[in-house]
Amino acid sequence: MALGALISAYQEDERAGLRALFPLAGQTLVEYQARCAAAVGAAPIVVMVERIPAMLNEAFERLRHEGITVVPVSDGAEAASRFEAGALILQIADGLAPDLPLLAKLAELAEPAVATVPDDAQHEQFERIDGISRWAGASVVEGHVLGSTAAMLGDWDLQSTLLRRTVQGGARHVAAGAAGVLLADRPEDLADFERRLLVATRGERSDFSSRYILPIAEEFATERLMESPVKPSWLVAGGLILTFAAAFCFSRGWLWPALGLLVISTPFDLIGARLASLRLQPLPPRNLARRLLWPAAGLALLALGWWASRHGGGWGALLAALTTGAFAEAMRIEKAASDLPAQPALFSRRNAIFLGIPFAIGGWWVPYLITLASYAAISFFVVQHFRHRLVRD
Protein backbone atom coordinates (compact mmCIF):
# COMPACT_ATOMS: atom_id res chain seq x y z
CA MET A 1 0.00 0.00 0.00
CA ALA A 2 1.28 3.47 -0.90
CA LEU A 3 2.70 5.55 1.94
CA GLY A 4 2.73 9.34 1.94
CA ALA A 5 3.81 11.81 4.59
CA LEU A 6 2.10 14.84 6.11
CA ILE A 7 4.33 17.22 8.05
CA SER A 8 2.82 20.05 10.08
CA ALA A 9 4.89 23.24 9.88
CA TYR A 10 2.67 26.13 10.89
CA GLN A 11 3.30 26.60 14.62
CA GLU A 12 5.56 29.43 15.77
CA ASP A 13 7.84 29.72 18.78
CA GLU A 14 7.89 32.57 21.29
CA ARG A 15 10.03 34.63 18.90
CA ALA A 16 7.39 34.41 16.15
CA GLY A 17 9.53 32.08 14.04
CA LEU A 18 8.37 28.79 12.57
CA ARG A 19 9.45 25.74 14.52
CA ALA A 20 10.03 24.08 11.17
CA LEU A 21 12.96 26.46 10.60
CA PHE A 22 14.85 25.61 13.79
CA PRO A 23 18.46 24.73 12.85
CA LEU A 24 19.46 21.09 13.23
CA ALA A 25 22.80 19.59 12.14
CA GLY A 26 23.34 22.01 9.29
CA GLN A 27 19.77 21.89 8.06
CA THR A 28 16.36 23.08 9.16
CA LEU A 29 14.12 20.87 11.23
CA VAL A 30 11.60 20.48 8.39
CA GLU A 31 14.40 19.32 6.08
CA TYR A 32 15.38 16.66 8.60
CA GLN A 33 11.73 15.62 8.94
CA ALA A 34 11.35 15.39 5.15
CA ARG A 35 14.58 13.42 4.79
CA CYS A 36 13.40 11.00 7.48
CA ALA A 37 10.09 10.57 5.68
CA ALA A 38 11.87 9.98 2.35
CA ALA A 39 14.26 7.51 4.01
CA VAL A 40 11.34 5.28 5.04
CA GLY A 41 9.84 5.41 1.55
CA ALA A 42 7.12 8.04 1.95
CA ALA A 43 5.98 9.90 -1.18
CA PRO A 44 4.55 12.39 -1.72
CA ILE A 45 5.74 14.47 1.23
CA VAL A 46 3.19 17.17 1.97
CA VAL A 47 4.02 20.06 4.30
CA MET A 48 1.10 21.86 5.94
CA VAL A 49 2.12 25.52 6.28
CA GLU A 50 0.05 28.71 6.43
CA ARG A 51 2.72 30.93 4.90
CA ILE A 52 6.02 30.22 3.17
CA PRO A 53 8.79 32.60 4.29
CA ALA A 54 11.95 32.86 2.20
CA MET A 55 13.93 30.53 4.50
CA LEU A 56 11.31 27.81 4.21
CA ASN A 57 11.19 28.14 0.44
CA GLU A 58 14.98 27.81 0.34
CA ALA A 59 14.73 24.64 2.44
CA PHE A 60 12.20 23.20 -0.02
CA GLU A 61 14.53 24.04 -2.92
CA ARG A 62 17.45 22.25 -1.26
CA LEU A 63 15.30 19.17 -0.81
CA ARG A 64 14.18 19.26 -4.43
CA HIS A 65 17.80 19.44 -5.58
CA GLU A 66 18.39 16.22 -3.64
CA GLY A 67 15.48 14.55 -5.40
CA ILE A 68 13.06 14.85 -2.48
CA THR A 69 9.80 16.36 -3.72
CA VAL A 70 8.03 18.43 -1.08
CA VAL A 71 4.52 19.78 -1.68
CA PRO A 72 3.49 22.77 0.50
CA VAL A 73 -0.24 23.17 1.21
CA SER A 74 -2.17 25.72 3.22
CA ASP A 75 -5.20 23.74 4.44
CA GLY A 76 -6.43 20.25 5.18
CA ALA A 77 -8.58 19.91 2.07
CA GLU A 78 -5.63 20.66 -0.20
CA ALA A 79 -3.48 18.26 1.81
CA ALA A 80 -6.03 15.45 1.42
CA SER A 81 -6.16 16.00 -2.35
CA ARG A 82 -2.44 15.28 -2.67
CA PHE A 83 -2.71 11.64 -1.59
CA GLU A 84 -4.04 8.65 -3.48
CA ALA A 85 -7.32 7.13 -2.40
CA GLY A 86 -6.69 4.42 0.16
CA ALA A 87 -3.15 5.53 0.89
CA LEU A 88 -1.64 5.41 4.34
CA ILE A 89 -0.11 8.67 5.55
CA LEU A 90 2.80 9.11 7.93
CA GLN A 91 1.86 12.07 10.11
CA ILE A 92 4.74 14.03 11.68
CA ALA A 93 4.01 16.67 14.30
CA ASP A 94 5.11 20.27 14.14
CA GLY A 95 8.44 20.74 15.91
CA LEU A 96 9.15 17.00 16.19
CA ALA A 97 12.72 15.76 15.90
CA PRO A 98 11.79 12.22 14.87
CA ASP A 99 13.59 9.02 15.68
CA LEU A 100 14.28 7.39 12.30
CA PRO A 101 14.02 3.76 13.53
CA LEU A 102 10.61 4.61 15.02
CA LEU A 103 9.41 6.06 11.69
CA ALA A 104 10.72 2.97 9.90
CA LYS A 105 8.79 0.76 12.31
CA LEU A 106 5.59 2.73 11.70
CA ALA A 107 6.14 2.67 7.94
CA GLU A 108 6.36 -1.12 7.96
CA LEU A 109 2.87 -1.40 9.44
CA ALA A 110 0.03 -1.75 6.95
CA GLU A 111 -2.49 -0.31 9.39
CA PRO A 112 -3.21 2.90 11.34
CA ALA A 113 -0.84 3.29 14.26
CA VAL A 114 0.08 5.91 16.84
CA ALA A 115 3.54 6.23 18.40
CA THR A 116 3.35 6.81 22.14
CA VAL A 117 5.47 7.91 25.09
CA PRO A 118 4.57 7.50 28.77
CA ASP A 119 2.35 10.09 30.43
CA ASP A 120 4.98 11.42 32.85
CA ALA A 121 6.82 14.64 33.68
CA GLN A 122 9.54 13.96 31.13
CA HIS A 123 7.01 14.00 28.29
CA GLU A 124 4.57 16.63 29.52
CA GLN A 125 5.00 18.73 26.36
CA PHE A 126 3.55 15.89 24.27
CA GLU A 127 -0.19 15.70 23.65
CA ARG A 128 -2.08 13.33 25.97
CA ILE A 129 -4.17 10.67 24.26
CA ASP A 130 -5.33 8.61 27.27
CA GLY A 131 -4.67 8.09 30.96
CA ILE A 132 -1.28 6.43 30.52
CA SER A 133 0.06 7.61 27.15
CA ARG A 134 0.90 10.69 25.17
CA TRP A 135 1.41 11.07 21.44
CA ALA A 136 5.08 10.76 20.42
CA GLY A 137 4.48 13.04 17.44
CA ALA A 138 4.32 10.39 14.71
CA SER A 139 1.47 8.23 13.51
CA VAL A 140 0.12 6.40 10.48
CA VAL A 141 -3.36 7.54 9.41
CA GLU A 142 -5.67 6.51 6.60
CA GLY A 143 -6.18 8.81 3.66
CA HIS A 144 -9.96 8.78 3.90
CA VAL A 145 -9.73 9.81 7.57
CA LEU A 146 -7.62 12.80 6.54
CA GLY A 147 -10.18 13.70 3.88
CA SER A 148 -13.18 13.45 6.18
CA THR A 149 -11.33 15.31 8.95
CA ALA A 150 -10.45 18.16 6.58
CA ALA A 151 -14.08 18.34 5.40
CA MET A 152 -15.46 18.84 8.92
CA LEU A 153 -12.50 20.70 10.39
CA GLY A 154 -13.71 24.29 10.60
CA ASP A 155 -11.49 26.22 12.98
CA TRP A 156 -10.06 23.13 14.67
CA ASP A 157 -6.38 22.25 14.51
CA LEU A 158 -5.79 19.62 11.80
CA GLN A 159 -2.87 17.94 13.55
CA SER A 160 -4.70 17.34 16.84
CA THR A 161 -8.05 16.56 15.26
CA LEU A 162 -6.54 14.00 12.91
CA LEU A 163 -4.74 12.40 15.85
CA ARG A 164 -7.96 12.20 17.89
CA ARG A 165 -9.92 10.59 15.08
CA THR A 166 -7.14 8.09 14.43
CA VAL A 167 -7.00 7.10 18.11
CA GLN A 168 -10.81 6.84 18.30
CA GLY A 169 -10.71 4.57 15.25
CA GLY A 170 -8.77 1.98 17.24
CA ALA A 171 -5.29 2.65 15.88
CA ARG A 172 -2.51 0.43 17.13
CA HIS A 173 -0.25 1.94 19.82
CA VAL A 174 3.51 1.68 19.22
CA ALA A 175 5.91 2.60 22.04
CA ALA A 176 8.58 5.09 20.99
CA GLY A 177 11.23 3.04 22.79
CA ALA A 178 14.28 3.95 24.81
CA ALA A 179 15.70 6.36 22.20
CA GLY A 180 12.63 8.50 22.54
CA VAL A 181 11.73 11.55 20.50
CA LEU A 182 12.02 15.29 21.01
CA LEU A 183 9.39 17.98 20.60
CA ALA A 184 11.14 21.34 20.25
CA ASP A 185 9.57 24.56 21.49
CA ARG A 186 12.78 26.58 21.10
CA PRO A 187 15.88 26.20 18.91
CA GLU A 188 17.94 25.44 22.01
CA ASP A 189 15.89 22.30 22.61
CA LEU A 190 17.58 20.64 19.63
CA ALA A 191 21.15 20.96 20.93
CA ASP A 192 21.24 17.56 22.66
CA PHE A 193 19.46 15.88 19.76
CA GLU A 194 22.02 17.33 17.34
CA ARG A 195 24.82 15.94 19.49
CA ARG A 196 23.15 12.52 19.43
CA LEU A 197 22.98 12.68 15.63
CA LEU A 198 26.68 13.53 15.42
CA VAL A 199 27.62 10.68 17.74
CA ALA A 200 25.42 8.25 15.83
CA THR A 201 27.25 9.00 12.56
CA ARG A 202 30.65 8.01 13.92
CA GLY A 203 30.09 4.42 12.96
CA GLU A 204 32.54 1.59 13.44
CA ARG A 205 36.19 2.40 12.76
CA SER A 206 37.98 -0.71 11.57
CA ASP A 207 41.63 0.40 11.62
CA PHE A 208 43.95 1.86 14.26
CA SER A 209 44.39 5.23 12.54
CA SER A 210 40.71 6.06 12.14
CA ARG A 211 39.99 4.83 15.66
CA TYR A 212 42.78 6.57 17.59
CA ILE A 213 44.48 9.23 15.42
CA LEU A 214 41.79 10.85 13.28
CA PRO A 215 38.70 11.24 15.55
CA ILE A 216 39.49 14.78 16.72
CA ALA A 217 40.12 16.13 13.21
CA GLU A 218 37.15 14.20 11.86
CA GLU A 219 34.81 15.50 14.56
CA PHE A 220 35.99 19.09 14.13
CA ALA A 221 35.62 19.02 10.35
CA THR A 222 32.21 17.35 10.47
CA GLU A 223 30.82 19.97 12.86
CA ARG A 224 32.15 22.81 10.68
CA LEU A 225 31.05 21.37 7.35
CA MET A 226 27.58 20.16 8.32
CA GLU A 227 26.24 23.71 7.99
CA SER A 228 27.95 24.26 4.65
CA PRO A 229 26.71 23.42 1.13
CA VAL A 230 29.63 21.01 0.69
CA LYS A 231 28.42 17.69 -0.71
CA PRO A 232 29.75 14.46 0.83
CA SER A 233 30.74 13.15 -2.59
CA TRP A 234 32.99 16.20 -3.04
CA LEU A 235 34.99 15.24 0.04
CA VAL A 236 35.50 11.68 -1.12
CA ALA A 237 36.55 12.95 -4.55
CA GLY A 238 38.89 15.42 -2.81
CA GLY A 239 40.59 12.58 -0.95
CA LEU A 240 41.01 10.71 -4.23
CA ILE A 241 42.51 13.75 -5.98
CA LEU A 242 44.98 14.26 -3.13
CA THR A 243 46.03 10.62 -3.40
CA PHE A 244 46.64 10.87 -7.14
CA ALA A 245 48.55 14.10 -6.52
CA ALA A 246 50.69 12.27 -3.95
CA ALA A 247 51.47 9.57 -6.53
CA PHE A 248 52.64 12.25 -8.94
CA CYS A 249 54.79 13.88 -6.25
CA PHE A 250 56.42 10.54 -5.39
CA SER A 251 57.27 9.98 -9.04
CA ARG A 252 59.02 13.37 -9.14
CA GLY A 253 60.92 12.78 -5.92
CA TRP A 254 58.94 15.29 -3.87
CA LEU A 255 58.68 12.82 -1.02
CA TRP A 256 57.67 14.97 1.94
CA PRO A 257 54.93 16.86 0.01
CA ALA A 258 53.66 13.49 -1.25
CA LEU A 259 53.42 12.02 2.25
CA GLY A 260 51.81 15.24 3.49
CA LEU A 261 49.11 15.00 0.81
CA LEU A 262 48.43 11.39 1.81
CA VAL A 263 48.14 12.28 5.49
CA ILE A 264 45.75 15.12 4.68
CA SER A 265 43.63 12.79 2.54
CA THR A 266 43.08 10.17 5.26
CA PRO A 267 39.95 11.62 6.95
CA PHE A 268 38.21 12.89 3.80
CA ASP A 269 36.12 9.79 3.09
CA LEU A 270 35.24 9.42 6.79
CA ILE A 271 34.01 13.02 6.98
CA GLY A 272 32.08 12.61 3.73
CA ALA A 273 30.39 9.48 5.02
CA ARG A 274 29.38 11.25 8.24
CA LEU A 275 27.95 14.25 6.40
CA ALA A 276 25.99 11.90 4.15
CA SER A 277 24.59 10.10 7.19
CA LEU A 278 23.62 13.39 8.86
CA ARG A 279 21.69 14.30 5.71
CA LEU A 280 20.11 10.82 5.66
CA GLN A 281 21.56 10.09 2.24
CA PRO A 282 24.39 7.59 2.93
CA LEU A 283 27.06 7.25 0.28
CA PRO A 284 26.32 4.25 -1.93
CA PRO A 285 28.62 1.26 -1.32
CA ARG A 286 29.65 1.36 -4.98
CA ASN A 287 30.54 5.06 -4.96
CA LEU A 288 33.25 5.26 -7.63
CA ALA A 289 35.54 7.76 -5.87
CA ARG A 290 35.38 5.76 -2.65
CA ARG A 291 36.23 2.51 -4.46
CA LEU A 292 39.16 4.15 -6.24
CA LEU A 293 40.86 5.28 -3.02
CA TRP A 294 42.43 1.86 -2.51
CA PRO A 295 43.93 1.47 -6.03
CA ALA A 296 44.99 5.15 -6.00
CA ALA A 297 46.93 4.50 -2.78
CA GLY A 298 48.50 1.48 -4.52
CA LEU A 299 49.55 3.73 -7.38
CA ALA A 300 51.22 6.12 -4.91
CA LEU A 301 53.02 3.16 -3.35
CA LEU A 302 54.32 2.01 -6.75
CA ALA A 303 55.42 5.55 -7.58
CA LEU A 304 57.46 5.65 -4.36
CA GLY A 305 58.95 2.22 -5.14
CA TRP A 306 59.84 3.29 -8.67
CA TRP A 307 61.54 6.48 -7.43
CA ALA A 308 63.44 4.62 -4.70
CA SER A 309 64.63 1.95 -7.17
CA ARG A 310 66.22 4.70 -9.29
CA HIS A 311 67.85 6.47 -6.33
CA GLY A 312 69.87 3.84 -4.54
CA GLY A 313 67.19 1.30 -3.65
CA GLY A 314 67.71 -0.94 -6.67
CA TRP A 315 65.17 -3.45 -7.89
CA GLY A 316 64.43 -4.47 -4.28
CA ALA A 317 62.56 -1.22 -3.59
CA LEU A 318 60.17 -1.72 -6.50
CA LEU A 319 59.77 -5.39 -5.60
CA ALA A 320 58.86 -4.41 -2.03
CA ALA A 321 56.21 -2.01 -3.33
CA LEU A 322 54.75 -4.69 -5.64
CA THR A 323 54.81 -7.26 -2.82
CA THR A 324 53.01 -4.85 -0.50
CA GLY A 325 50.30 -4.24 -3.07
CA ALA A 326 49.83 -7.95 -3.78
CA PHE A 327 49.57 -9.00 -0.12
CA ALA A 328 47.35 -6.00 0.74
CA GLU A 329 44.90 -6.80 -2.04
CA ALA A 330 44.89 -10.52 -1.17
CA MET A 331 44.20 -9.64 2.47
CA ARG A 332 41.37 -7.28 1.47
CA ILE A 333 39.71 -9.98 -0.63
CA GLU A 334 40.19 -12.66 2.01
CA LYS A 335 38.93 -10.44 4.82
CA ALA A 336 35.85 -9.22 2.90
CA ALA A 337 33.20 -8.24 5.47
CA SER A 338 34.51 -10.47 8.25
CA ASP A 339 34.82 -9.00 11.72
CA LEU A 340 38.20 -10.22 12.92
CA PRO A 341 39.65 -9.78 16.44
CA ALA A 342 42.90 -8.19 15.21
CA GLN A 343 41.28 -5.94 12.62
CA PRO A 344 42.44 -2.50 13.93
CA ALA A 345 46.09 -3.58 13.71
CA LEU A 346 45.84 -5.09 10.24
CA PHE A 347 47.24 -3.42 7.14
CA SER A 348 45.07 -0.60 5.84
CA ARG A 349 45.51 2.45 3.63
CA ARG A 350 45.43 4.83 6.59
CA ASN A 351 47.66 2.69 8.82
CA ALA A 352 50.24 2.43 6.04
CA ILE A 353 50.26 6.20 5.49
CA PHE A 354 50.75 7.11 9.15
CA LEU A 355 53.41 4.41 9.51
CA GLY A 356 55.47 6.34 6.95
CA ILE A 357 55.90 9.43 9.15
CA PRO A 358 58.77 8.16 11.39
CA PHE A 359 60.56 6.64 8.37
CA ALA A 360 60.21 9.93 6.48
CA ILE A 361 61.75 11.83 9.39
CA GLY A 362 64.81 9.61 9.17
CA GLY A 363 64.84 9.57 5.36
CA TRP A 364 64.49 5.77 5.41
CA TRP A 365 62.28 5.31 2.38
CA VAL A 366 63.56 1.89 1.31
CA PRO A 367 63.24 0.45 4.85
CA TYR A 368 59.74 1.92 4.86
CA LEU A 369 58.86 -0.07 1.72
CA ILE A 370 60.34 -3.24 3.18
CA THR A 371 58.41 -2.68 6.42
CA LEU A 372 55.18 -2.18 4.47
CA ALA A 373 55.76 -5.43 2.56
CA SER A 374 56.31 -7.30 5.82
CA TYR A 375 53.29 -5.61 7.43
CA ALA A 376 51.01 -6.53 4.50
CA ALA A 377 52.28 -10.12 4.43
CA ILE A 378 51.81 -10.61 8.18
CA SER A 379 48.32 -9.10 7.98
CA PHE A 380 47.40 -11.49 5.17
CA PHE A 381 48.51 -14.55 7.15
CA VAL A 382 46.74 -13.30 10.28
CA VAL A 383 43.51 -12.98 8.30
CA GLN A 384 44.07 -16.47 6.89
CA HIS A 385 44.53 -17.84 10.40
CA PHE A 386 41.34 -16.32 11.79
CA ARG A 387 39.27 -17.18 8.71
CA HIS A 388 40.30 -20.82 8.88
CA ARG A 389 39.63 -20.93 12.62
CA LEU A 390 36.15 -19.52 12.03
CA VAL A 391 35.49 -22.19 9.39
CA ARG A 392 36.62 -24.95 11.78
CA ASP A 393 34.44 -23.59 14.58
Boundaries of every domain in the chain: 3-190, 227-392
Residue 384's pLDDT is 87
pLDDT at 338: 66
The answer to whether the bond into 44 is cis (omega within 30° of 0) is yes
Inform me whether the pLDDT recorded for 363 exceeds 70. yes
Q: Could you tell me which CATH number the domain at 227-392 has?
A: 1.20.120.1760
pLDDT at 181: 79
- Residue 130 confidence (pLDDT): 86
What is the rounded distance in angstroms from the CA atom of residue 160 to the CA atom of residue 175? Answer: 19
The beta strands (E) that lie in 123-244 are given as 133-142, 172-175, 182-183
Range name among 106-115, 148-157, 217-226, 349-358 with the lowest pLDDT average: 148-157
Q: Could you report how far apart the first and last alpha carbons of the chain are, in Å?
A: 44
User: Phi-psi region for residue 68, left (φ > 0), alpha (ψ -120 to 50) or beta?
Assistant: beta
Strands (E), the chain: 3-8, 23-24, 27-28, 45-48, 70-73, 88-92, 96-97, 113-118, 133-142, 172-175, 182-183
How large is the greatest C-alpha to C-alpha distance in the chain, in angstroms? 88
Over the stretch 48-77, which tens digit does the pLDDT of each residue have?
998 899 999 999 999 998 889 899 998 888
pLDDT at res. 86:
84
- State residue 39's pLDDT score: 93
> pTM score, two decimals?
0.85
Confidence of residue 252 (pLDDT cuts 50, 70, 90): very high
pLDDT at 361: 96
- Most confident listed range (108-122, 123-137, 234-248): 234-248
pLDDT of residue 196: 86
**Predicted local confidence at residue 69, as pLDDT:** 87
Mean pLDDT, the chain, as a whole number? Answer: 90
**CATH 3.90.550.10 at 3-190, yes or no:** yes
**pLDDT for 16 beyond 70:** no
pLDDT digits (tens, 9 = 90+) for 278-300: 888 888 878 899 999 999 999 99
Fold match, 3-190 / 227-392: no
Q: Give the per-residue pLDDT at 229.
A: 84
Angle at 93 between CA 90 and CA 98, to 5 degrees: 75
